Structure 1
Amino acid sequence: MSKQSRILCSALQHLVMSAEEAAAMIPAGANVGMSGFTGAGYPKAVPGALAERIRAHNTAGGQPFRINVLTGASTAPELDGKLAEVDGIEMRLPFQSDPICRARINEGTMNYADYHLSEVAQYAWAGFFGKMDIAIIEVVGIREDGSLIPSSSVGNNKTWIEQADKVILEVNHTQSLRMEGMHDIYYGTALPPNRKPIQLTEPDQRVGELYLRCPIEKVIAIVETNAPDRNSPFKEPDDASRRIAEHILKFFDSEVAKGRLPENLLPLQSGVGNIPNAVLEALDSGDYKNLTAYTEVIQDGMLKMLKSGTLRMASATAFSLSPDGIAEFDKDIEFYRERIILRPQEISNHPEIARRLGVIATNAMIEADIYGNVNSTHIMGTRMMNGIGGSGDFARNGYLSIFMSPSTAKDGKISTIVPMVSHVDHTEHDVKVIVTEQGLADLRGLSPRQRAKAIIENCAHPDFKPMLLDYFERACASGRGMHTPHLLQEALSWHEQFEQTGTMRRE
């Protein structure tokens, strides 16, 4: 198939140019909305060319050249890494996972705004981010009427195209044209007071269009690329991940037996990472069939579940596949196209739909405290890891919100169950279940002191359990208040000790 056949709109064919020529159209200080969500569907060429332009400009001296970068979620080294390396990002939002970005954020040389992913499109429309100057969007192809065949992620692409004054398109020939028909682009959202209910009542229901609308007059450049998505390969689940998965499946079995979950559960939302993949693997090896997923990303484990019949269908906004997962998807796209729907993230993460469908949310955490508050983002309270992502969208609005982590980190020097979290992303009101390899604590219907006993008993590592019990008992005896007992002078002392000595252990 010739490259020209990917650009069928005759009015746009004359705009094909190099990445360097396209990057030259992006001015310093611009607000740039880029495609991309968890290493899928991000522009592969223009960001790198722009980074080289910024490097040359800054080397020559003068006013620093920076832009503001808005995406769907995290991207990849070709985008975040290259722009961060040349100090080319003034503001980054709403999520990142790049080590160079992270370093710049934590050293204070890059501004970063961490948002619930469902809210980003709304905030853009409300003008909170300022005027959108340029959108850089990867697509699979351009149709005769100028509409766009979306790539391996949808994210905020609809909003960036609508909001931007100008659009640069990357047509990626590595992304298969056979993905056409997999997407569902909903154009019915609005700001208050003009909102209407989203008529999506089943995970496999389609409510939108197959293509992205893009006014031809907005397009200023088209760059043809031939590069794959880049996601890190998933590690084989370790013993702790498998034990966490076993606890969750046992919990599901119990909930089904009690009539609180149907036999095919409820739509699954799974965060990204090795522990969520271990849960998917455990589900696939069990007796559950005809499951559905209403989530953000399609991971390797979901492809396997679709093939085995454990999972009937999956709705998401992007793929997050290892190289092996990409190869499997490419090999059998026709099979997956009938069972996967990719939507804008304002729909995949929409609170209205998560509440209506009764999503079961499973997400990783950095730490939880004895009362059920969860920190998903900050190491020792101050250093950003990645961001809250979509976990809050589902935790507050789903039927079940489950947070998971090994009970220790840093070779046992850190307890992930602490007296008080050093940063709060999910309050005790939104956290229903906490799981470590030690066990599972079902917090529903419990008072704060009852939650503390359940978390310490079931989730804490044996090396830290006596310390947590000692803290809790002394807090209860302090007379400072028995609803949520704390010793304020000690509540964060575990983190302080780690900062000073490199361990939370007290020998």
Structure 2
Amino acid sequence: MYIEEYRKKCVSADEAVKVVRSGDWVEFSWAANMACLLEEALARRKEELHDVNIRAAVLLKSSAILESDPTGEHFTWNSWHLSGSERKLVQNGQAYYIPIKYSEVPRWLRENLQTDVVAIQVAPMDEHGYFSFGVTISHYAAAIEKARAVIVEVNEDMPSIHGGYDHVVHISKVDYVVEGGHRGLPVLPTAPPSEKDKTIAAYVMPEIKNGACIQLGIGGMPNALGQMIAESNLKNLGIHTEMLVDGFVDMVLAGKVNGKCKQLDRGRITFSFAAGTQKLYDFMKNNPVLAGYPVDYTNHPCNASRNENLISINSCLEIDLTGQVCSESAGSNMMSGSGGQLDFVEAAYYSKGGKSFICLPSTYKDKQGQIKSRIKGLLTLGAVVTDTRATIHYIVTEYGMVNLKGLSTWQRAEALISIAHPDFREELIDEAKKLKIWRQSH
């Protein structure tokens, strides 16, 4: 019965984007859900549009909109969370970051933000008239509630995802359907773990017990940990995470995950969006073990912390001697975003038996090739504090692991210096003395 309505709403991409007006705010793609045909069609309308604001995030491939308008005279790109390519665009003045905790996005869309058009990629419609949002549930339902017009680009290769709620949109709420055929999904390559990553992961592994519920961030270290878990003797693990990545698939296929010890969504893998290789997308297709939810469900500390023994593993760029963590900028240059890191740092500590780990290599090389410490007396001028010092639990480098909860400032300085690169420890002690947070202990 829904096929006739579907056919009436089927139009070309060029016809669909005529609904966009100058001054509109368009909620666009997130990560692997890039609506390529709609983007290309919107770019072709450049000369007749002005002050159109695009909201998107985690751009995984080149953008036709940005390429068509490098000076930003017609379109402004606003990102919820920066990918590597968006980072460069921000530094060139072509894009702008929206500072927000990821868990707050759906409410902010409903209560505060102008949203005129939603233009997203979806899976093919099912027999009941529903389009699955596919690998990105995130905040789409909230945006659709506010929009004047909703356009869906159907990708035959987008997997339909089982969910909890707000993971689908019905044809009755859609204004235009653009058939995209088989488009594939953009791949997010997983960086192979370095030796430092493996060493850091080895410090965390003993803290994970049978029945724990796991949240992993993205990057080499979480990937190393996922591989170690897959090869370990751990069992009865659960997954409650913001982002689903390839490492989780390895854990499931190795028989480490059944979710039977979870208190929330027992037996299911809870997530809000996914990006990775084709292995991940194949695993997700019509998989009833998955529970895709909007991000205000997955990331809200009150929800995530209901799972006992929640283990949260994330990375950062630098940390100061009092425990302030920067995970999103290099000085004033934005690198990524707040995301859901603070949500899970708090949730893991609220969880009965839970633990939060922030992991980082002790050093990095600057543009001149000089080695610098990631543990600093003070954060780099302009650096954004992602996690406040009061929320931090465990910090891990390749030189060890320390628990900062409840420590005074001098104890924190001492603990962090103990896991800094040895070449920088004396320098850091001098910094701590200047900051009046050093006490010569035994």
- TM-score tier (shorter): 0.7 to 0.9
Task: Specify the alignment match of 2:371 in structure 1.
Answer: 413
Quote how far apart the aligned CAs of 1:275 are.
1.5
Task: Specify the alignment match of 2:60 in structure 1.
Answer: 76
**Cα displacement string for residues 341-361 of structure 1 (whole angstroms, at most 9, x for unaligned residues):** 211112111222023225322
Task: Specify the alignment match of 1:141 in structure 2.
Answer: 124
Task: Specify the alignment match of 1:342 in structure 2.
Answer: 292
Task: Specify the alignment match of 1:264 in structure 2.
Answer: 211
Task: Specify the alignment match of 1:163 in structure 2.
Answer: 146
Other structure's SS at 1:92 match: strand
AA aligned to 2:328 is T
**Cα displacement string for residues 70-127 of structure 1 (whole angstroms, at most 9, x for unaligned residues):** 24x413225xx3323323542513212142x323322444332121111011111112
Other structure's SS at 1:228 match: coil
AA aligned to 2:376 is V
Aligned with residue 229 of structure 1, among 160, 185, 191: 185
Task: Specify the alignment match of 1:505 in structure 2.
Answer: none
| Distance in 2 separating the partners of 1:144 and 1:183 | 17
Other structure's SS at 1:441 match: strand
Instruction: Determine whether 1:34 maps to 2:28.
Output: yes
Contact 1:377 1:425 in 2 (8 A): yes
**Gap runs ≥5 in structure 1:** 1-6, 59-63, 187-209, 257-262, 477-481, 485-507
**Cα displacement string for residues 286-324 of structure 1 (whole angstroms, at most 9, x for unaligned residues):** 221111111012211111111111122421012222244
The CA RMSD measured in Å over matched residues stands at: 2.5
AA aligned to 1:161 is I
Quote how far apart the aligned CAs of 1:474 are.
4.0
AA aligned to 1:307 is L
Aligned with residue 290 of structure 1, among 218, 231, 236: 236
| Distance in 1 separating the partners of 2:117 and 2:20 | 7
Task: Specify the alignment match of 1:401 in structure 2.
Answer: 356
AA aligned to 2:165 is I
Among all aligned residue pairs of Structure 1 and Structure 2, give the percentage whose two residues are the same amino acid: 26
Quote how far apart the aligned CAs of 1:144 are.
5.1
Go from structure 1 to structure 2 and tell me whether the alpha carbon gap of 1:269 and 1:236 turns closer, same or farther (over 3 Å shift). same
Contact 1:296 1:317 in 2 (8 A): yes
Task: Specify the alignment match of 1:46 in structure 2.
Answer: 38
Instruction: Determine whether 1:96 maps to 2:50.
Output: no
| Distance in 2 separating the partners of 1:49 and 1:385 | 29
**Cα displacement string for residues 182-215 of structure 1 (whole angstroms, at most 9, x for unaligned residues):** 12215xxxxxxxxxxxxxxxxxxxxxxx733453
**Cα displacement string for residues 442-482 of structure 1 (whole angstroms, at most 9, x for unaligned residues):** 11221121111011102x11221221122213433xxxxx5
Aligned with residue 220 of structure 2, among 266, 274, 294: 274
AA aligned to 2:306 is R
Aligned with residue 433 of structure 1, among 373, 394, 400: 394
Task: Specify the alignment match of 2:413 in structure 1.
Answer: 452
| Distance in 1 separating the partners of 2:2 and 2:247 | 36
Task: Specify the alignment match of 1:442 in structure 2.
Answer: 403
Aligned with residue 324 of structure 2, among 365, 373, 383: 373
Go from structure 1 to structure 2 and tell me whether the alpha carbon gap of 1:122 and 1:317 turns closer, same or farther (over 3 Å shift). same
| Distance in 1 separating the partners of 2:305 and 2:125 | 36
Go from structure 1 to structure 2 and tell me whether the alpha carbon gap of 1:475 and 1:139 turns closer, same or farther (over 3 Å shift). closer
Contact 1:305 1:311 in 2 (8 A): yes
Go from structure 1 to structure 2 and tell me whether the alpha carbon gap of 1:281 and 1:46 turns closer, same or farther (over 3 Å shift). same
Contact 1:35 1:154 in 2 (8 A): no
| Distance in 1 separating the partners of 2:330 and 2:235 | 38
TM-score, length-scaled by structure 1: 0.76
| Distance in 1 separating the partners of 2:434 and 2:409 | 15
Quote how far apart the aligned CAs of 1:66 are.
4.0
Other structure's SS at 2:323 match: coil
